[in-house]
């Protein structure tokens, strides 16, 4: 049997309620098993992002609470540090509290990964999704 460690986490009630509904819908035996699956997915995503190499083009989509302390200013400041790979940005107001920022990027995968990691770490950022492709000239015939 695999050795298990016990941890404690704090979650907003609404988030936990939604998670529990999904657990029931998917038929998990326990909340712990669902959390283990979520952590596995997180690790797989992290490894995939950090395995990217070479020239890439794609988008980084960021959903954030624009009422969070200076989050919009911090996102803009970070973007100004990556003007060599940022091609364009699109800003969308989702509701009274949340915005979606889509950043089109093209350049070295390492820099795209670095930008993605910095945005993900910001307080007030709810979700970050990276989608990358090999630019057209690099696709095998």
**pLDDT by residue (tens digit) across 39-97?**
888 887 777 777 778 889 999 999 999 898 899 999 999 999 999 999 999 999 999 99
Question: Interior CA angle at 79 toward 50 and 88, to 5°?
Answer: 95
Residues in the annotated binding site for Ni(2+): 80, 91, 93, 99
Residues in contact with 42: Cβ distance below 8 Å, sequence separation at least 6, in sequence order: none
In this structure, the answer to whether residues 34 and 90 fall within a common structural domain is no
In this structure, the answer to whether residues 125 and 65 fall within a common structural domain is yes
105: containing domain: 54-133
The answer to whether the CB of 60 falls within 8 A of the CB of 116 is yes
Residues in the annotated binding site: 80, 91, 93, 99
In a domain, 95, yes or no: yes
Show the tokens assigned to 97. Answer: 């509290």
Instruction: Give the residue-averaged pLDDT of 20-47.
Output: 88
The answer to whether the CB of 106 falls within 8 A of the CB of 87 is yes
């Amino acid at each position: 049997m695999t050795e298990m460690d016990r941890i404690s986490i704090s979650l907003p009630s609404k988030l936990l309620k939604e998670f529990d509904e999904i657990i029931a819908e998917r038929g998990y035996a326990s909340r712990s098993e669902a959390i283990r699956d979520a952590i596995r997915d997180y690790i797989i995503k992290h490894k995939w992002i950090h395995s990217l190499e070479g020239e890439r083009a794609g988008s980084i989509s960021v959903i954030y609470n624009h009422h969070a302390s200076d989050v919009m200013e911090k996102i803009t400041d970070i973007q100004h540090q990556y003007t060599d790979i940022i091609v364009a940005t699109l800003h969308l107001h989702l509701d009274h509290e949340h915005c979606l920022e889509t950043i089109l990027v093209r350049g070295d995968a390492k820099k795209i990964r670095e930008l993605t990691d910095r945005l993900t770490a910001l307080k007030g950022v709810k979700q970050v999704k990276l989608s990358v492709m090999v630019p057209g000239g690099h696709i095998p015939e």
